[in-house]
Amino acid sequence: MTVQKLEYRQLEVGQQFPAVSFNLDSDSLAAYLKSTGELDSLYEGTGIVPPTAVAAWALISLLEHVALPEGTIHLSQELQCLSMATEGDTLNCRARVSRKQERGRLRLLDIEFDVVGKEGTLLISGKSSFNFP
């Protein structure tokens, strides 16, 4: 099923995105650790997933619903990590538009999100900020 992506102009403050689920499989985790240079880290071989990896997968999943035009800049990321995820977990992410602001040619968007694990445990609460061209 193809998801209709929303453009900046279609988004409203308070708008909820459809919940998304993603799995923390071993291949994706290994690729993440390699790409970030974390191969010799405390995460290798433990099955524990770095919170930044969980946030990255959540953001990738959420962006299935938003069209990012060429030139979009990811300005900032705030994360509150409350619990750890482990390899093989299936996580759920809920998100909403928390700020949409225009100043001349500057268009800003904040998306707040929560990542929930097994039995509804809140793992990460965060916010991503973008500047649209």
Residue listed under structure tokens 């409203």: 12
Q: Are 64 and 19 in contact (CB under 8 A)?
A: no
Q: Does residue 8 have a pLDDT over 60?
A: yes
Q: Which sign, positive or negative, has the C-alpha torsion 133, 56, 41, 31?
A: negative
Domain 13-132: which topology?
Answer: Thiol Ester Dehydrase; Chain A (3.10.129)
Q: Is 48 helix (H, G, I), strand (E, B) or coil?
A: strand
Chain segment 113-128, per-residue pLDDT in tens: 999 998 899 999 999 9
* Band (39; pLDDT cuts 50, 70, 90): low
Domain ranges in the chain?
13-132
Average pLDDT, the chain: 88
Q: Are 133 and 72 in contact (CB under 8 A)?
A: yes
> In angstroms, rounded to a whole number, what is the distance separating the alpha carbons of residues 126 and 91?
15
> In angstroms, rounded to a whole number, what is the distance separating the alpha carbons of residues 93 and 113?
7
Q: Does residue 73 have a pLDDT over 60?
A: yes
Could you write out the three-class secondary structure of 100-112? EEEECCEEEEEEE
Q: For residue 36, what pLDDT is reported?
A: 83
Q: For residue 45, what pLDDT is reported?
A: 72
Q: For residue 26, what pLDDT is reported?
A: 84
Which amino acid type is present at position 56? Answer: A
* Band (69; pLDDT cuts 50, 70, 90): confident
